[in-house]
Amino acid sequence: MPEKESPPPVILVTGAGKGIGRAVAEALAAKARGASPGVKLLLAARTAADLEALKARLDGDGVECGIAACDLAEQPLRPLEACLARFGRIDALVHCAGVGRFKDFLEQTPEDLEFTLRTNVTATFLLLQKAYAAMQAQSPRDGLRGQIQVVTSIAAEQPFPQSSTYCLSKYAQRGLLDVMRLYGRQDGIRILEVRPGAAYTPMWGEMPPDQVARMMTAEDIAQPMVDALALSARASIEVITIRPMHGDL
């Protein structure tokens, strides 16, 4: 009798509207195209139009997508709830949504601090905590109960000027992931921290062409993340640091 085919894995991608998150969603869809068992994606970001455009493209490629347009600072659990309501489980959370306000230390306002910490720290904690709980409660797939990937930054391991609130939030994300990994090893939930250097995305706004030429692309970051999802359950890549070939900007 032929073996029963396993259903497509369900992957929630935050920050899927632009930049690294969108590149991850596109790379996942490209990998699944024509392959069995494919993939189911829940795409989350603030801007509904970005998500609808991406969904239309990926639907056309035969990838089943749901979308959740919301501000994680206001509704940190909404993407997870949408994922579970639509697909009934979550095999991987790829958390790319993040913000930064870059200005000198003495110019950062209480509002800059609050804005950065609400998305990068508080929403990240709440979303990861509930995603972990959902994974812990579900049956394993290919030897894992789930996988969590978070895009932090090289600003989680080294200081940069004009980045006091950003570094604060990224070091905090790194600390959370280090603690979660202690639990994940016991529970079969793989935790990957991705620390990119400069990749040219909408986060950077307008940049001089000579600087852009030195930077990585969102796709450069997305590809190893997608590859890491497919790693055997015997192994865990814990941190990926990716820098521009010719060094930081």
Ligand X SMILES: NC(=O)c1ccc[n+]([C@@H]2O[C@H](COP(=O)([O-])OP(=O)(O)OC[C@H]3O[C@@H](n4cnc5c(N)ncnc54)[C@H](OP(=O)(O)O)[C@@H]3O)[C@@H](O)[C@H]2O)c1
Q: What is the three-class DSSP state of 52?
A: helix
- Cβ distance 222 to 238 under 8 Å? no
Looking at beta carbons only, is 8 or 50 nearer to ligand X? 50
Looking at beta carbons only, is 99 or 233 nearer to ligand X? 99
Minimum CB separation of residue 108 from ligand X in Å reads 16
Looking at beta carbons only, is 93 or 144 nearer to ligand X? 93
Task: Provide the binding-site residues for ligand X, judged by CB under 6 A.
Answer: 15, 17-21, 45-47, 50, 71-73, 96-100, 119, 151, 153, 196, 198-199, 201-203, 218
Minimum CB separation of residue 192 from ligand X in Å reads 14
Looking at beta carbons only, is 198 or 229 nearer to ligand X? 198
Q: 13 - beta bridge partners? A: 43, 94
Minimum CB separation of residue 99 from ligand X in Å reads 5
Looking at beta carbons only, is 91 or 220 nearer to ligand X? 220
CA neighbor of 73 nearest in space, from 115, 109, 43: 115
Cα 149 from Cα 93, distance rounded (Å): 6
Q: Nearest-5° angle of CA 117, CA 118, CA 121?
A: 55
- Cβ distance 14 to 95 under 8 Å? yes
Minimum CB separation of residue 231 from ligand X in Å reads 21
Minimum CB separation of residue 233 from ligand X in Å reads 26
Cα 200 from Cα 246, distance rounded (Å): 15
